[in-house]
Each structure stands twice: as C-alpha cells, then as structure tokens.
Amino acid sequence: MCGICGFYGMNDKVTLNKMCKALDFRGPDDHGDYTDSKISLGHRRLSIIDLRKIAKQPMHNENKDIWIAYNGEIYNFKDIKLELEKKGHKFYTNTDTEVIIHAYEEYSENCLGLFNGMFAFALWDSKKKKLFLARDRLGIKPLYYYFKDGLFIFASEIKSILQYGGVKREISLGSLNDFLAFRYVIGDNTILKDIKRLLPGHCLVLENNELKIQKYWDINFNYNNKSLEYNSGKVRELLSESVERRLISDVPLGALLSGGIDSSAIVAFMKNYTNNIKTFTIGFEGEPDNEFKYASKVAEKFETDHKEIMLKKTSLKLLPKIIYHMDEPVGDLTTIPAYSIFENAKKYVTVILMGEGSDEIMMGYEQYRIMDFSKKYSRLVPAFVKRHLIKGLAKMLPKEETAFEKLSNYLGDIEDTSLSYYSLVSVFNSFEKKLLYSKKAMDGVNDISSDYTAIAGYFKKAKNYLDQIMYYELKTWLPNDILLRCDRMTMAHSMEGRVPFLDYKLVEFSATIPSSLKLRKTTEKFVLKKAMSGILPDEIIKRKKQRFFTPIDHWFGKEFDSVARSLLTEPNFVNKNYFNKDYIEKLLDYKKRYSYKLILKHNKLLKQYYSRQIWSLMTFEIWYKIFVEGIKLGKIM
C-alpha cells in the first residue's frame, strides 16, 4: 500500500518532492521518483509483499521504456505472472507491480480485465509517449487529477496535488450542494473546481495532449433464478476464496471484529487458513450498546488474539487531524472511531481485513427495509394523505421544522424510487438548503436541485427498485464515503485495509442473486445468513443488525455543542459567505424543536437528524480552514 503522484507537462523537481512529502504517511518504508523530459513520477512505499529494496518504485521493465507508480494489491498476480512467463516475459522481482508492467506490454489497456485486487496506478509508456492511469473496479484505492493548459497532475490524495501552487483552491458550489445533501461529492467532481477524481472501474489515457477516459467495468443485474441453497453456497465459496486471497502478506495481519455477521464471517474463513489471527473491537466510553459481548463470543469461538479498544470522549479533539487525513470533506460520524481503532491496531498489525461492502451487495442497510416496506404498503395510504394532508400539517409548523417537510416529501414521492430515496437519505434536502444558503451561495449554485439530478441517472441502471438502490450505493456512497474513510483512516497510520466482500467476482455474483433472497421481509442479508449457518453461532446470525455509528447526542453531550458553537458562530466562522448565520444559530438549538422533542429523540437513529447536519457543517468548516485558508491544525479548535 502506497502513495503515488506525478505530472506531465512540466519539469519541476521541487514540486515533485513536495508532492511526495505530502504523502509520507502513506508509505514510510521507502521512496523513489523518476523523471524524464516529459514525465515525473513519485512514490511512497508501505512494504507489504516482497520487503526487499529490489521492489523499489517507480518500477521499470527490462528495457526501461515503461515506468509505473502503483498503489494497491493484485491478489492474483502470481497466476498472471505464470501466464506472462509462458509468453516469454522476464521478471526481476516477485512483485505485483512488475506484473502490471508486463501485462500492459502484452495486452495494452485491456490488461485491466486480468487484475483481481485494489489498485490505482500511473504507467508511462515512453515509446508511445502515453500516460495510462487506472483505478480498481470498486474504487477501493483513490486517484485524483488536474488537467489545465497542457499540464496534467495526478496523486493518491488532493493534498499532494495542491503542492503545485498553480491549482486554485476554489470551491465548486455544485459539489458543495452535493456534499450538503449526501455527506460526500457525487461522480468525478471534487469539492475543488479544478480537481477531478478518476471514477471506479475507469482508466485514463493522456496522449498527444488529449485526455481520454473510458469505463472498463460495470455491474449488470441479471438474476440467476436458482435456489436459495445454490446462491448461499456460491456466496460461501466466493467469500472464502476472497478471504484466502487477502491473506497474502509478509507483515503482521489482523481483522476488525464487531460481532456482526460481516466481520464474523471474515474471521471464520480466516481461521480456515491461519491460526494466527489478531482481532480488534471498538466501543464508546459510557455507551451501553457497545459490541464487546458479541465480538468476544466470535473471538473465543475462533481462538483469536482479541483486543478491545474503548474510545474516550476527548476524541472530539482529533477532528482537525482526522479531517486533514480524510483529504475531502466527508460528513461521516464514524471517522473518529475509525481513526482511533486503526491507531490502536497499528501497534500489532500492518494489514487489516474489514467487512465493508457487505451492506451494499447484500442489502443490509435500513434504507432497503424502509423503501421496501413503503413501496409495498404505500397503496394503503390514500394519495390525499400522502401528498396533501401531511404536507399541509408540516406547513403549519415553523419553517425550521424541516424533518416534517422531509417526511411529507418522502411519502408523496414513494412511487419514484430516486426521489423517495433522496428524501430518505439526504442530510440537507433542497428545502433545507434554501434556508441554509446565503444569497450569494444561492445565486452561485444556480440549480439547487442539482444534487438530485446528480443521482437520478444511477437509478436507471436496474429494473428492480432494490437493485437500483444497490447500484447507486455501490457507485457513489461506497467509494466516496465508506471506502474513502477506510483508505484514509488506515493510511493515516501507515496501514493497509482489505475488504473481502468487494472481490469483484463476489460483487458480480451478488448482482445475479434475486433481491428477494437478500432482503426477505424484514430480514436483511438473508442469503449471507444462510451461507454462514452452521459456521457462525446462531446468536450472531440471528442478531438484529446494529449499524456502527457515533452516538453523538449521548456521547459528546455538551462538549459537542460547545465545539459546534465555537466553529459555526462568529468570530471564528469563516464560511459565512456560503451560509445563513441566523439559520445555523437556530439549527444549533435543534433540541428545542417540536420534531426533535416529540419524535426524533426517541429513536437511536432519528435523533441524529439535526446533529448530523451540524456535523456536516463542522466538517466543511474545518476542511475549509485547513485546505483553503491554510490554518494550522493546532489553531482550529
């Protein structure tokens, strides 16, 4: 696992060194660079496989006319290497990096279809004067670029690209509009106008100063219509093979263990291949719903070396450091516990397996259950009630009572999957953003519904509404929030995170499983639970899903309120040009609202409705101070 960077169109050793330096934490074990008249490549290495210095990057072929800077793991590289050797290719290392070079020599850009793994790389073909960049199918590894006036810059993180002083740190208001709705930015845009991300499953070629981007992989929903026994057996087989592939390592390796079915399944299959398993569980100080009990049962069954990590309330002070490492503003409440568990796990392991991706491919989130229930039973509610009565009641309340407005929108739009999903998951919807934005921001956004427009196209890729949600979340939420958090929080501690549920073979197969076998009535991940029957304890399989989230209202209490007010009110508030200060002050007093007192505070998830809005604003404020204003981390809070 590494950090890569470089550029085409200038010769500037000082900038290259600065870009590499900004990625030091991603690869503390070694570093290297390559430059010629056309290209500069930089690399920071975290040694995982083949620890010898001979594996140094940027790496070249035997003729030194192809060079690569690469981040990731190709788990099937040994099989590919054998085939390439049969075709006459000669290798001087035992690395997946060199396999990519020779696969490119043999198959050009079509080599991407061979690779099973997580990767982002930049390959320079000096004969053809061609720069070839690619990102793995699911977007596990990040890759960003800047292209303007003949200058092309790329890197694993935005902070590296920003080392070139010519990049304007100008906010894209369209991206800000996305962020406020979903906690992350949709598509190939980033929060900064001039910096793009290469999408998952895409490659980029720069040749003759012309940029061409192509999709090389996608998900197709074509049900196999086979039995539950067949599908659960295939899931079990593919997941076991995926775990085995991800155990390749020359450094200590472990797993996160929550006691839920995802992480428990990974640990169970790890036991088939190794007896040396270290597992880690995190809990919140003073929070009664910690997962220690369930995790310890799984750890005991599979005889792991288990560590329990208790997160203290003082962890809120880590926010500036965490947001610096997140690199993009992502309003995800779980970044604090993620940062802390990897910080502790690094004392014991360098590679860690995680259960991320299971909820997306097995329909494990509550939005699947809510949407399914609503679709099936909304016909029992008269249209007048859905579209007019609830909306009318909402309009009788103060306009700040936006939770009721959103509920009426959800019920009124239930026949349109993309619209109702937007109402269900958006942090700030269009109505709320009209209250939040300053006049300047409203004028700059142009189309306040552009956040919905950005997601609507994803819902046309499947016929079944549950599959539509799955496609959207695999293409957006997963890479731009979940996997971004995994990458940034592991790399902040020079660790490599691996996600067995996102082996592309398992993902492709999951798209052939009928949705009725994933979500059966109110039982999520039904086919996975069937697959793990007899392997995991019944208590784990039948356990009600407990989403991992930060209990912000209970856990932070007055400290959260104090920090939020300090950041979002004058004189410290720097984003008053974007936001209505009066509305934010009212939002900070959300516990006085009728919607909170009467309904929201009585449900563990709903009570975060307004606090996660505040969290998103705090995240953007801190991110802006670091990456736009250039304020030092120690002076922000």
The residues near 381 (Cβ < 8 Å, ≥ 6 apart) are 411
Percentage of the residues of the chain whose pLDDT score is greater than 90: 74
Calpha distance 148→165 (Å, rounded): 13
Pick the more confident residue, 387 or 303. 303
Q: Name the least confident of 159-168, 373-382, 547-556.
A: 547-556
pLDDT, average across residues 224-242: 97
CB atoms within 10 A of CB 617: 25
**DSSP state string for 500-518:** GGG-HHHHHHHTTS-HHHH
Range of weakest confidence among 226-230, 231-235, 317-321? 317-321
pLDDT grade for 4, boundaries at 50, 70 and 90: very high
Q: What single string gives the DSSP state of each residue in 602-632?
A: GSTTGGGHHHHHHHHHHHHHHHHHHHTS---
Residue type, 489: M
Taking 90 as the threshold, does the pLDDT of residue 398 lie above it?
no
pLDDT score, position 421 = 93
What average pLDDT does range 579-603 have in this prediction?
Answer: 90
Domains contained in the chain, CATH given = 2-215 (3.60.20.10), 228-363+491-541 (3.40.50.620), 376-472+551-635 (no CATH)
How much of the chain, in percent, has pLDDT values that exceed 70?
93
Collapse the DSSP code of 523 into the 3-class scheme (helix H, G, I; strand E, B; otherwise coil) and give the result.
strand
Indicate the DSSP class of residue 194: T
Q: How confident is the model at residue 446 (pLDDT cuts 50, 70, 90)?
A: confident
What is the average per-residue pLDDT within 307-320?
Answer: 85
> What pLDDT digit, counting tens, does each position of 320-371 carry?
999 999 999 999 989 999 999 999 999 999 999 999 999 999 999 999 999 9
d(CA 465, CA 470): 9
pLDDT value at position 356? 96
Q: pLDDT tier at 537 (50, 70, 90 boundaries)?
A: very high
Q: Is the model's pLDDT at 128 over the cut of 90?
A: yes
pTM greater than 0.75: yes
Q: Contact, 576 vs 438, CB < 8 A? A: yes
Tell me if 60 sits within 8 A of 123, measured CB to CB.
Answer: no
- Could you identify the residue written with the tokens 């501690």? 493
In the predicted structure, residue 582 carries a pLDDT above the cut 90: yes
Residue 486: the pLDDT is 97
Spatial contact of 594 and 405, defined as CB atoms under 8 Å apart? no
Give the residue, 377 or 331, on which the prediction is more confident. Answer: 331
Kindly state the tokens that stand for 127.
């004969």
Q: For 157-186, what is the mean pLDDT? A: 96
pLDDT band at 289 (very low <50, low <70, confident <90, very high): low
Q: Which of 41-55, 226-240, 433-447, 508-522 shows the lowest mean pLDDT across its residues? A: 41-55
φ, ψ for residue 455, nearest 5 deg: -100, -20
pLDDT over threshold 80, residue 290:
no
Measured distance CA(247)–CA(530) in Å, rounded? 24
In whole angstroms, what is the distance from residue 519 CA to residue 16 CA?
50
Average pLDDT, the chain: 91
- For residue 380, pLDDT beyond 70: no
Decide: 66 and 124 in contact? Cβ < 8 Å: yes
CA 430, CA 451: separation in Å to the nearest integer? 8
Confidence class of residue 411 from pLDDT cuts 50, 70 and 90?
Answer: confident
Q: What is the distance between the alpha carbons of residues 413 and 375, in angstroms, rounded to a whole number?
A: 10
Strand residues in 188-231 grouped as ranges (E)? 196-197, 202-207, 210-215
User: Distances from the Cα of 481 to the Cαs of 146, 179, 486, 551, 557, in angstroms?
Assistant: 21, 11, 9, 19, 25
pLDDT at 381 over 70: no
How far is 194 from 200, CA to CA, in rounded Å? 19
pLDDT band, very low/low/confident/very high, at 604 (cuts 50, 70, 90): confident
pLDDT of 542-576, one tens digit each? 887 666 667 777 766 778 888 999 999 988 899 99
Position 394 scores a pLDDT of: 60
Residue 128 class from Cβ within 10 Å (0-12 exposed, 13-18 middle, 19+ buried)?
Answer: middle
Catalytic residue numbers, as ranges = 2
Indicate if the pLDDT at residue 298 is higher than 90.
Answer: yes
Alpha-carbon distances of 111 from 99, 103, 217, 253, 370, rounded to whole Å: 10, 6, 12, 29, 41
Distance separating alpha carbons of residues 247 and 151, to the nearest angstrom: 40
Phi/psi at 199 (5° precision): -70, 155
Mean pLDDT of 188-213: 97
Q: What is the mean pLDDT of residues 440-455?
A: 89
Report the range out of 17-31, 344-358, 596-610 with the highest average pLDDT.
Answer: 344-358
Residue 342, pLDDT score: 96
pLDDT at residue 42, as a whole number: 97
